[in-house]
Chain A
Amino acid sequence: MNVVMTQLAFNILITFSIYLTISVSFMNIYCCAKFFNFTHAIIITISAYFVFTFSKQLNFPIWLSVLLSVTFSIILAVCLEQFIFKLLRKRNKNTFELLVASLGLYICFQNLISLIWGDDTKSITSENVNIGYSLLGAYITKIQVIIIFVTIALSIGTIILINKTNFGRKCKAIYSNEQLANIFGIDTNLIIIWSVIIGSGTSSIVGILMAYDIGMNPAFGFNLLLYSIVAMIIGGVGKMKGLIAGSLLLATAQHLGAYYTDSKWLDTITYIILILFLIWKPLGFSGIRIKKIEL
């Protein structure tokens, strides 16, 4: 029983760190651009497929293919931002229209991916499945250790970037009052592009690591992003502590729920938590009032 609990704790830690990284990067973009950008899911997915192409089909070394795919994903994200969302924003479209456009782009790219690479679940690693290291009776693979360290480092880095640096303050300024920030000489577009670069860079690394761990299919980025959005809403937008608490709660609930009932009810558990939160605590853990829910 104790061994099972340790294993569960490890799994919760891995899931928590993944959700935390993606929701931190997503929230950074959300705060600046003020809409749910579903193309973020494309970045997560396509980076893994780029690595697949480079390392398996073109036989590049792993470090080069990871570097190339992260670069390409960032370029793709910036292109989408520059050529679609910036133009839409110039035409004074509201957040709903931007969201629908991002949903449309997501559908396009997801189907492009399944046209190019196929619908089946692919794996990047050529190694055989091994049980990995034994730690306190629980088993943890090499890639999972890498996931924990890399994702926690990335999320701490992003949190420091948002909380301590000049860039983060500019993001917060745009989040709280865009016009006033513009008066003080903060360029909204530049900040959005930088947050897109940082966010898509971190989340593409997470996507690659996830693909190394459990394989990939064209929809895995979207599921991951939806869980992270749920974690973000549970935690409450705007505060990092809330985000950490939200991802931790979601990861714990998912793993315990999957352990005590069945893993097929994972989605149901996730969204029931979301709905319960919106009924009892609509502002999330941090309780910051945002205009979306106040009304």
Chain B
Amino acid sequence: MAYIIHVAIIIMFYVMLSQSLTLTAGYSRLISLAHAGFFGIGAYTSAILSVNYGTSFLLSLALALIISAIIGVFVSVIALRSVDDYFIIITMGIQVIAFSIMNNWMQLTNGPLGISGIPSISILGIDLSNKISFLLLTLFFTLIVFFLLRNITKSPFCKILIGLSEDEIFTESLGKKVYLSKVISFTIGGMFAAVPGVLYAHYLSYIDPSSFTMNESIFILSIVIIGGMRNLLGSAIAACLLIIFPELLKFLGMSFDKAANIRQIIYGVFLVMIMFNNNLLSVSKNFKFLKIIIRRKEIRTK
């Protein structure tokens, strides 16, 4: 039971991460590979604040959001000087810089040894150290992030994002501020990625830089792509799939290292297959496709 709750919590972290990337990578087509960096920024901010200064959970969450927003603005202003493949390479570079700061700045982040002894969460005097209450808290935050992102994606602002992803110059000619919208969408994506980071740090009570590598970024991006780019629920489903499926491999008696490798191979194969057929995992479209096939068979039999 404890194991199932653990998997559920991990899934919800990835749902939050992938949904926040859906806004950036899906709606405004800013394919960012720096998302694990923002995840790490949230985790490290909260960990450093609560271990060194004893701040409460809500305060460190707020500070982590503010810091990741500031870094998000800074990063997007740099990265948005380029487009397409070059943008991907630059965000990749930012991810590498973030990782090497976490890994090498001994005084601040304790380097590869990581930060241990992060206190468990207590809000307004209520202790949330046991797993079920933490599950509920994570669920609460997941729903908040989902709700906010759904409202953003239904807002007129998101129409600008979709417009600029299709044709930037045309959107600009309509009097919309393209650059500002891009910066805002990148920053919001980064901010929401810090939320699971904070929760992650308090959940494991120990963090080290190996959780925030480039492969993690690629994994989050592949969740978004497999979920169907502009589909919040789709990326949630894809996150479930991509995490539960490798967990099942562990029951087949596979060692931890091999299971990690096979997990990565699976999502690599998924990525290539999705590129061949965009609607591979999109439930609604595949359902329609099935209906069409069934109808054709019925017609033939008649």
Contacts and interface: CB of A to CB of B under 8 A. Distances in A.
Say whether A and B bind each other: yes
B104 A264 contact: yes
8 tightest Cβ-Cβ pairs between the two chains A and B: A104-B271, A271-B93, A107-B268, A108-B268, A101-B275, A111-B261, A104-B272, A104-B268
B89 interface: yes
A279 B78 CA distance: 7
B271 A100 contact: yes
A4 interface: no
A101 B84 contact: no
A178 B78 CA distance: 31
A87 B276 contact: yes
Interface in A45-102: 84, 87-88, 91, 93, 95-101
Nearest to A87: B276
B118 interface: no
20 contacts: A88-B276, A91-B276, A93-B275, A95-B84, A98-B275, A100-B275, A103-B271, A104-B222, A104-B272, A105-B268, A107-B265, A108-B265, A115-B258, A265-B100, A271-B93, A274-B93, A278-B82, A278-B90, A282-B81, A293-B82
Interface residues of A, number: 46
Contact of B85 (A88, A99, A275, A279): A99
Given A108-B265, A295-B168, A101 B83 contact: no
B142 to A, nearest CB: 26
B101 A268 contact: yes
A264 B100 contact: yes
B275 A233 contact: no
B70 interface: no
Contacts of A106: 268
Contacts of B257: 119
B262 A275 contact: no
A104 B89 CA distance: 16
B38 to A, nearest CB: 16
Interface string A280-295: 0010000000001101
For A97, A103, A295, the residue with the greatest tally of chain B CB atoms inside 10 Å of its CB is: A103
A108 B276 contact: no
Given A264-B103, A271-B93, A279-B78, A99 B268 contact: no
B270 interface: yes
A271 B168 CA distance: 27
A105 B93 CA distance: 20
Contacts of B221: 100
B150 to A, nearest CB: 25
Contact of A115 (B85, B218, B261, B267): B261
Interface in B182-217: 215
Contacts of A272: 97
A121 interface: no
B186 to A, nearest CB: 15
Contacts of A140: none
A108 B273 CA distance: 12
Interface of A: 35-36, 84, 87-88, 91, 93, 95-101, 103-108, 110-112, 114-115, 119, 226, 229-230, 233, 262, 264-265, 267-268, 270-272, 274-275, 278-279, 282, 292-293, 295
A185 to B, nearest CB: 29
Contacts of B268: 104-108, 111
A101 B271 contact: yes
A113 B90 CA distance: 27
A233 to B, nearest CB: 7
A140 B261 CA distance: 38
B281 to A, nearest CB: 14
B93 A293 contact: no
Given A264-B104, A271-B94, 6 more contacts: A97-B275, A104-B269, A112-B265, A271-B96, A275-B94, A293-B83
B123 to A, nearest CB: 37
A226 B214 CA distance: 12
A275 B93 contact: yes
Contacts of B94: 271, 275
A231 to B, nearest CB: 12
A107 B275 contact: no
